[in-house]
Chains A and B, each alone.
Chain A
């Protein structure tokens, strides 16, 4: 039981890292990894929304989508959009300081494809309530890891002597390729057991 959950956790975090191996949520990965502190906080907000989405997806799958499977994508996207909205309102009410720090990144989580992908993967693999939460925590930790790594490398490249044409997205993609190559090394981690 414990081992099964650990497998899900590490698989989502390292072996099948959402950003670097599965190419999910690249917009925020390229757009908001300028500084480490912002990237880390965005990762935390993502994780929070991932966990809520996982719980909502379990509930939806159990009681609604069983009867109407053709509503799957519509139901998921509506639930995600409203959950992000509720999260935004709750953060604004209880912690205005955090709300100011997150700014525009909070509503933008709705269009982060990692969130919708989590709900779809969870449904396809038939995860239950607890498995879903473990999966969401693992995926969130993977996002935090990828965002923080990327931001810390980019902070170093600020002062480096880089040709003009390579600055911007091209450089970010090359760094991402290198990181992704490093994450390929984790692929033997779980198959060894």
Chain B
């Protein structure tokens, strides 16, 4: 949808409302983890603790920001036929910087994340943002969009990571939050825990969306919640 919006926007005349919207849509309305479901591999692979999720989210935000700014700077020079290759090369350069930077600054996190920092290149979120936003908008709007998407992605990772760390180790960011008598759920630290946690998160979101939809009054009479069990039994 935002493709259309950005096409209609007057270049250079982005009002405060548009700027806020550019920034906020990645955090809530178009959250990359929960609504767009892009970049699912890191969402499940490295969310067994909050610090890992935070480091991965920050690295992804850095790459999003760097490549977004570069792509929107050179958007008039990049030929249409080779645009995907160009985007991939720009992204790969920033991933390499993030990989080497993290190795030098935070060696513990780098070791814990393993190959997943390098795999940011293959994260569909990055290519999607370049193709659908940075290539069409000016540097300022692309910066806001990249920041919003990055923060949204980090928040999503941290949300899944919080559930897994609290239940799997009884701690949050390394601080003990569960009582001593709590027996950690080993499965949450293992790969299946990632699949199950994210499955439950999606289930909760679907339930919430459905519930909100049902509460919105419609202009014509529909079946009410009271006669629903009967209808379902009959069907």
In the complex, whether B45 has a CB less than 8 A from a CB of chain A is yes
Once A120-B115, A177-B192 are accepted as A-B contacts, the answer to whether A26 and B199 lie under 8 Å apart by CB is: no
Contacting residues of chain A (14-54) with chain B, CB-CB under 8 angstroms = 20-27, 30
Return chain B residues, CB-CB under 8 Å to A184. Answer: 190-192
State the CA gap A86–B199 with chains docked (Å). 37
Contact A116 B195 (CB under 8 A): no
Contact A173 B199 (CB under 8 A): yes
In the complex, whether B124 has a CB less than 8 A from a CB of chain A is yes
Contact A74 B41 (CB under 8 A): no
Q: Is chain A's binding surface mostly helix, strand, loop or mixed?
A: helix
State the CA gap A113–B126 with chains docked (Å). 13
* Chain B contact patch, size range: 35 or more
Contact B118 A120 (CB under 8 A): yes
Contact A165 B199 (CB under 8 A): no
In the complex, whether B127 has a CB less than 8 A from a CB of chain A is yes
The interface size of chain A toward B, counting residues with CB under 8 Å, comes to 42
B 186-214 binary contact with A (CB < 8 Å = 1; else 0): 01001111111011001100110010000
In the complex, whether A112 has a CB less than 8 A from a CB of chain B is yes
In the complex, whether B180 has a CB less than 8 A from a CB of chain A is no
Contacting residues of chain B (117-174) with chain A, CB-CB under 8 angstroms = 118-119, 121-124, 127
Contact B92 A166 (CB under 8 A): no
In the complex, whether B88 has a CB less than 8 A from a CB of chain A is yes
In the complex, whether A157 has a CB less than 8 A from a CB of chain B is no
Once A111-B122, A111-B127 are accepted as A-B contacts, the answer to whether A117 and B40 lie under 8 Å apart by CB is: no
Once A74-B93, A165-B203, A165-B207 are accepted as A-B contacts, the answer to whether A113 and B41 lie under 8 Å apart by CB is: yes
From B93, B121, B191, A116 is in contact (CB under 8 Å) with B121
From A22, A120, A177, B195 is in contact (CB under 8 Å) with A177
Return chain B residues, CB-CB under 8 Å to A115. Answer: 122
B178 to chain A, nearest CB (A): 23
From B44, B92, B187, B190, A74 is in contact (CB under 8 Å) with B92
B37 to chain A, nearest CB (A): 6
Contacting residues of chain A (117-149) with chain B, CB-CB under 8 angstroms = 117, 120-121, 124
Once A73-B96, A74-B96, A113-B41 are accepted as A-B contacts, the answer to whether A166 and B192 lie under 8 Å apart by CB is: no
Return chain A residues, CB-CB under 8 Å to B196. Answer: 173-174, 177
Return chain A residues, CB-CB under 8 Å to B193. Answer: 177
Return chain A residues, CB-CB under 8 Å to B89. Answer: 74, 77-78
B26 to chain A, nearest CB (A): 20
Sorted nearest first, the 8 A-B pairs with minimum C-beta distance are: A177-B195, A173-B199, A23-B45, A113-B122, A165-B206, A170-B202, A180-B192, A177-B196
> Which residues of chain A have a CB within 8 Å of any CB of chain B?
20-27, 30, 70-74, 77-78, 81, 111-113, 115-117, 120-121, 124, 164-166, 168-171, 173-174, 176-178, 180-181, 183-184
- Known contacts A74-B89, A165-B210; 11 additional CB pairs below 8 A are A21-B191, A26-B40, A30-B40, A72-B118, A77-B92, A112-B122, A121-B115, A166-B206, A173-B196, A180-B190, A181-B192
A-B contact pairs, 9 of them (CB 8 A): A26-B44, A72-B118, A73-B118, A77-B89, A112-B122, A113-B41, A116-B119, A121-B115, A180-B190
